[in-house]
Chain A
Amino acid sequence: MASTGLVVSAIVTLVAGGARPSTTAAARPGSIRGHVDLQRTPVPAARRPGVSDLGAPAPRDLPDLLRSVVYLESAPRGAFETSETGRVVMDQHNETFVPHVLAIMTGTSVDFPNSDPFYHNVFSLSKAGRFDLGRYAAGRSKSVRFDKPGIVRVFCDIHSHMNAYILVFSHPFFALTNADGRYGIDRVPAGTYNVIAWNEGTASEPQSVMVPDGGIAELDFQLR
């Protein structure tokens, strides 16, 4: 398994250096589809032992840790000209970030509404997105725009067990798996690419795949 940080750093390096991806120009884009087989059971972060609490804590929701992100290690030329920005939501519900993982493009804003009847304080100290939204109550929302590619670990300053990931890409060639582990990356120009699967901080080794002109390439992953 490769380090996720290294892999995402590689993306950043490519963007900064303008290196050429191993692609061939083609008129009709294709797709990459496949399945990510998680061969381990991710465990949600436990609460810190509340020894100083006067009673047991209220039950909380558990995050969905089975969603993986699959992405091209290097994107085809011209991909970075895409300016497909928008807004997505990462809710805070019953002491859980929902969804637990977001994959977005640079320039996207993420809204963090608080749906709990108590305070949360969303923050991150990650290099790709250092922010602190302060404490705010139910019904309120604050947002952050992510302009740097990389992995952003999101936490709550009040509830130490709350955490989430936001993967920020410079290109649009990434996808989240569904509940069955299946994914699809569409509109990929024909060519040969290295593809990586990521789950909860663990990344696969890059796998090479050739996307045919207007066709579909199949690529499965196993993550330990």
Chain B
Amino acid sequence: MRRPGTGARWCCGVVMLAWCAWSDARVAHAQSAASWANLSPEPISLADGHVTIGGDVSATYGSVDPGFFNYTDYEHSALRMIRFNVTAAVKANDHLAVLGDLQTENFDNLRPYALYLRIRPWAARDFDIQAGRIPPTFGAFARRSYVADNPLIGYPLAYQYLSTLRADALPATADELLQKKSFGWLVRYPVGSQTLDHGVPVVTALRWDTGVQVHAGMFKARPLGVTASVTTGTLSNPLVRDDNGGKQVAGRLEWRPTPGLNLGVSGSHGEFVSTAAANAALPAPRPDTLAGFAQTAWGADVEYSRDYFLVRSEVIASRWRIPFANEPNRHDPLDSLSAFVEGRYKIRPGFYVAMRVDHLGFGSITGQTQSGPWDAPVSRLEAGAGYSLFRNLLLKGAYQYDSRDGGRLKPVEHLVATQVVFWF
């Protein structure tokens, strides 16, 4: 299923990664020390600190994944990926900054992962307005999906696993949706766009939405953060250009009652189905009907850390409503519920072990000929370890057990992967 040349590009990426680490070490050697232990982990600072540039490079190589458990689209598996990330902050003054993130996966197009303006109206107050392609308001993982922040190699299912839903193409009946179970990596429907394309995850960690975000922080002793945003796309389908005239509203409350304990709750609601697809499914739908084809999600997350261990957990419930062209009176919601718990324990300086237990389930619907979950429920257990050769050069290894209850693809997989991460 891989495009010709992917292997060559992967090899090229490994060489570039090695070159990055080697050249940085040479600079560090020349400037400061005879040891690679002093390999510079600092971002590049220019113009008296007004411009800072950071980045990370990772190369992941793992088992073939014929069950498509780890694919982020038709061609990209999270277990076989070269990822380059360059982040930059240009701070004009205490009130104004521009932040951006350019990213490429497997040397495909260089994409602006983030590009936004941060405005702080009162320099002394923890109140910011961000506009552009902004960080996700919803949940916790999407904001720490950078490779160096992920203790394992795979992503949580809710943030990566491709369901069979698409915003631009629709099944004509519930039966048709049920027949597509497990084919989220490449799915085609008769209504709307006729092209083969991948479905959407519950929350997309790999693309950010476009809009305006307001964040306020208060109470220094027990900090409380409040964030709200209005964006063009939805959690499942972030967009730069609007495709349905609707907006997503998202909010998040985050509270740290004591150092080491973070509690968060999030909610979002936004129009999911594109206007073109909805028009193809329903003859002359009214605007308020279109607004009903939405994604609504609720999430709760917790992080607790102390001494050498760190535990995180996140639960996300999502509901989509889509039109069925041949069943115009069907209004069943399409539900999903996901939960994961991950833990990391540092065994010795620079060496840790980690594990994540993860499940993504789908609600049942009833068609004319069959009924059951509208997509095949998936479970994942991933266990791994990380070793820091230097502060900013990390080696990871992981084993992943995936299982899928239903669908026609391989139901169980045992996968292994290794990853090298370099960041500055």
Residues in chain A within 8 A of chain B (CB atoms): 3-6, 9, 43, 45-56, 58, 117-119, 123-127, 130-132, 134-138, 151, 153, 155, 160-161, 163, 200-202
17 A-B residue pairs with Cβ-Cβ distance under 8 Å, sorted by A, are A5-B32, A49-B53, A52-B114, A53-B143, A58-B126, A125-B37, A125-B388, A126-B35, A132-B348, A134-B307, A134-B308, A134-B346, A135-B260, A135-B307, A151-B33, A153-B37, A153-B391
Kindly provide the distance from the CB of B85 to the nearest chain A CB, expressed in whole angstroms: 9
What residues of chain A lie closer than 8 Å to B349, measured between beta carbons? 123-125, 130-132
Which of the residues B45, B113, B118, B215 comes within 8 Å of A46, measured between beta carbons?
B45
The 5 closest A-B pairs by CB, nearest first: A201-B32, A5-B34, A49-B89, A5-B33, A55-B128
Kindly provide the distance from the CB of B311 to the nearest chain A CB, expressed in whole angstroms: 12
Task: Name A2's closest neighbour in chain B (CB-CB).
Answer: B34
A3-B33, A5-B33, A117-B221 as given contacts; A43 in contact with B49, CB under 8 Å: yes
The answer for the CA separation of A177 and B220 in the assembled complex, in Å, is 36
Q: A4-B32, A155-B41 are in contact. List 9 more A-B contacts (CB 8 A).
A: A3-B29, A3-B32, A47-B52, A48-B52, A49-B87, A54-B128, A54-B227, A55-B130, A56-B118
Q: Is the CB of B391 within 8 A of A3?
A: no
Which of the residues B54, B87, B259 comes within 8 Å of A137, measured between beta carbons?
B259
For A46, A126, A134, A200, which residue has the most chain B Cβ atoms within 10 angstroms?
A46
**Binary per-residue interface labels of chain B (98-124) against chain A in the complex, 1 for a CB within 8 Å, 0 otherwise:** 011100000000000110001010000
Q: Is the CB of B126 within 8 A of A49?
A: no
What residues of chain B lie closer than 8 Å to A125, measured between beta carbons? 37, 349-350, 388, 390-391
Task: Name A137's closest neighbour in chain B (CB-CB).
Answer: B259
The answer for the CA separation of A78 and B75 in the assembled complex, in Å, is 68
Task: Name B114's closest neighbour in chain A (CB-CB).
Answer: A51
The answer for the CA separation of A202 and B33 in the assembled complex, in Å, is 8
Interface residue tally of chain B, by bracket? 35 or more
Which of the residues A123, A124, A136, A202 comes within 8 Å of B307, measured between beta carbons?
A136
Which of the residues B114, B120, B144 comes within 8 Å of A56, measured between beta carbons?
B120
What residues of chain B lie closer than 8 Å to A130, measured between beta carbons? 349-350
The answer for the CA separation of A160 and B394 in the assembled complex, in Å, is 15
Q: Is the CB of A46 within 8 A of B128?
A: no
A48-B52, A125-B388 as given contacts; A117 in contact with B259, CB under 8 Å: yes
What residues of chain A lie closer than 8 Å to B38, measured between beta carbons? 5, 153, 201
**Binary per-residue interface labels of chain B (201-223) against chain A in the complex, 1 for a CB within 8 Å, 0 otherwise:** 00000000000010111001100
Q: Is B193 an interface residue (CB 8 A)?
A: no
**Binary per-residue interface labels of chain B (137-158) against chain A in the complex, 1 for a CB within 8 Å, 0 otherwise:** 1000001101000000000000
The answer for the CA separation of A184 and B34 in the assembled complex, in Å, is 27
The answer for the CA separation of A117 and B258 in the assembled complex, in Å, is 9
Kindly provide the distance from the CB of B405 to the nearest chain A CB, expressed in whole angstroms: 33
What residues of chain A lie closer than 8 Å to B45, measured between beta carbons? 43, 46
> Within B24-72, which residues are at the interface with A (CB < 8 Å)?
29, 31-35, 37-38, 41-43, 45, 49, 52-54
Q: Is B135 an interface residue (CB 8 A)?
A: yes
Kindly provide the distance from the CB of A161 to the nearest chain B CB, expressed in whole angstroms: 8
A56-B128, A119-B260 as given contacts; A4 in contact with B42, CB under 8 Å: no
Kindly provide the distance from the CB of B228 to the nearest chain A CB, expressed in whole angstroms: 10
Q: Is the CB of A52 within 8 A of B135?
A: yes
Which of the residues B89, B217, B259, B308 comes within 8 Å of A51, measured between beta carbons?
B89
The answer for the CA separation of A189 and B215 in the assembled complex, in Å, is 63
The answer for the CA separation of A65 and B178 in the assembled complex, in Å, is 64
Task: Name A150's closest neighbour in chain B (CB-CB).
Answer: B35
Q: Is the CB of B89 within 8 A of A54?
A: no
What residues of chain A lie closer than 8 Å to B97, measured between beta carbons? 56
Task: Name B352's closest neighbour in chain A (CB-CB).
Answer: A132
The answer for the CA separation of A135 and B308 in the assembled complex, in Å, is 6
For A56, A153, A161, which residue has the most chain B Cβ atoms within 10 angstroms?
A56
What residues of chain B lie closer than 8 Å to A56, measured between beta carbons? 97, 118, 120, 126, 128
Q: Is the CB of B34 within 8 A of A49?
A: no
